[in-house]
Structure 1
Amino acid sequence: MAVATCFRLLATILLLAMAGRCYSQQMDHIQLSRIADSIDNLTQVVQAVASEKVASGIMKMFTLMATDHLVCEGGWFKFRSSCYFISEDTSTWEESRQKCIALKSDLVKITHDDEYNFLHDLAKNHHTYIGLSALQDGGTYRWAADGTVHQIVESWWREGEPNNRNAGEDCIHYHSSNEGFNDIGCGSKFRYICEKPAHLDGNLASVLDEETPTEK
């Protein structure tokens, strides 16, 4: 609102200045009216942008507040708004994914460096499957959770990988030596990491339920 008010004040001053110039040049009322309409249109744009920024800021604030009340069930590790499970058993890549799905999750999708570092530590000293493979589209690595293409981040991979040795390495795992991602045949058996959204703790969920109006 303050931004729009300042803009309108500035626009008014500009209009007055232009009006004086118009008068000196004997411009007619129609031209002045068009200038005023243009200023009104610009003001509306500024108000809309300002409102969007305020709304975005409020959403970010509530997201940060809510994150503090997100929890994971026993055996799962929380990072930001997600829960992660690392298995004790070993399976092929596809078997690993099905086991994650049975736990109402999917093989982990990694989207930023902080998450990579967190999971890098979680998988320490173990070959561990993640949700990345080229099974859906030969040669193109996609995340199983949503089918999006993985844009290679070199710092996440072992040196020289992925190399698709012998044209038979379509699945990705953390290498046990903590040197990053490595492509390998999907029939190899490793541990795996599942991911699912964290949920609100019981107390906050109850409060939200009480404060949510019911439809009549």
Structure 2
Amino acid sequence: MAVATCFRLLATILLLAMAGRCYSQQMDHIQLSRIADSIDNLTQVVQAQAVASEKVASGILKMFTLMATDHLVCERGWFKLRSSCYFISEDTSNWEESRQKCIALNSDLVKITHDDEFNFLRDLVKGHNTYIGLSDLQEQGTLRWVADGTIHQIVESWWGEGEPNNPAERCVHYYHAIDDRLNDNNCSKEFWYICEKPAQLGWNFASVPDEETPADK
């Protein structure tokens, strides 16, 4: 009888131990699941805050950019569009001489990068053959902007029909005979020229409003 009682007691203890272990494992699993959920929630919060911070930073950058652009100015005799100043000559030179004259003005022959700029300059020089900073003098057959050496990707709407069309004509200008669009020509020809340099932040110069055109040109 005593043996049977001891056996039952031992069995009970073992069952309780096993039950306790299972309960402990179950609790461990629940706790791990809760921790994983907390990590997921925290990750989502951090990501949302990062997106919000990025939007705020972007907005602040845009605001300061606009504020800075509003206070960019050009010297008298230069014409401003966005962050650039342009000088339109009324004397004529060949292409290389034109570039040297621009350099003497702390600028370079203009590099055109977008339609608004192309049309703005086209209006400024309307009716006059006018050099820009584009040629294939560095590598024949490859038109590059002299200001930074980048290759010009042909924009057909900027060019006269069929232009550029002559390997012997290596410098580019606005050509009044083809509705003031671009044309390649002999670099020794003497034309007007357009210089470009960055506008400056400040109030020391007589500023020129965006897209102002010269009178009587």
Letter in 1 for 2:191: F
Flag the 1:40–1:73 CA change in 2: closer, same or farther, 3 A.
Answer: same
1:144 maps to what in 2?
Answer: 146
**Deviation digits for residues 5-34 of structure 1 (CA, Å, limit 9, x no counterpart):** xxxxxxxxxxxxxxxxxxxxx965435534
Give the partner amino acid of 2:172: I
1:42 Cα offset (Å): 4.1
Q: Aligned partner of 1:173: which letter?
A: H
Deviation readout 1:92-145 (Å, 9 max, x if unpaired): 212111111110011111111111111000111111011111222332222111
Q: Secondary structure at the match of 1:30?
A: helix
Residues 164-213 of structure 1 deviation map (CA, whole Å, 9 limit, x = unaligned) = x1x2122111012334111112222111000111112337xxxxxxxxxx
Which stretches of structure 1, 4 residues or more, deviate above 4 A after TM superposition? Answer: none
TM-score (norm 1): 0.73
Other-structure match for 2:184 = 183
Match of 2:201 in 1: 200
The verdict on how the C-alpha distance between 1:188 and 1:65 changes in structure 2, with shifts beyond 3 A counting, is: same
Equivalent-residue separation in structure 2 for 1:77 and 1:34 (angstroms): 62
1:86 to 85, 88, 91: 88
Q: Report the 3-state secondary structure (helix = DSSP H, G, I; strand = E; otherwise coil) of the residue aligned with 2:176.
A: coil
Equivalent in the alignment of 2:171: 171
Q: How many percent identity over aligned positions? A: 66
* Structure 2 unmatched runs, 5+: 1-27, 205-217
Mapped to 2, the partners of 1:135 and 1:100 lie a distance apart of: 18
Please, which runs of 5 or more residues in structure 1 have no aligned partner?
A: 1-25, 204-216
Task: Measure, in 1, the Cα distance between the counterparts of 2:169 and 2:41.
Answer: 62
Number of aligned positions between the proteins: 177
Q: Separation in 2 of the partners of 1:149 and 1:49?
A: 37
3-state SS of the aligned residue for 1:181? strand
Cα separation, partners in 2 of 1:142 and 1:28, compared to 1, 3 Å: farther
User: How far off is 1:37 after superposition?
Assistant: 2.7
Give the aligned CA root-mean-square deviation in angstroms.
2.2
Deviation at 1:35, TM superposition (A): 4.5
1:58-86: per-residue Cα shift (whole Å, max 9, x none)? 22222222222222112111122211101
Aligned-partner residue type, residue 30 of structure 1: L
Task: Give the superposition deviation at 1:155.
Answer: 0.8
Higher RCO (C-alpha 8 Å, min separation 6): 2
Whole-angstrom distance in 2 between the partners of 1:158 and 1:30 = 72
Following the alignment from structure 2 to structure 1, what is the Cα–Cα distance between the partners of residues 161 and 142?
19
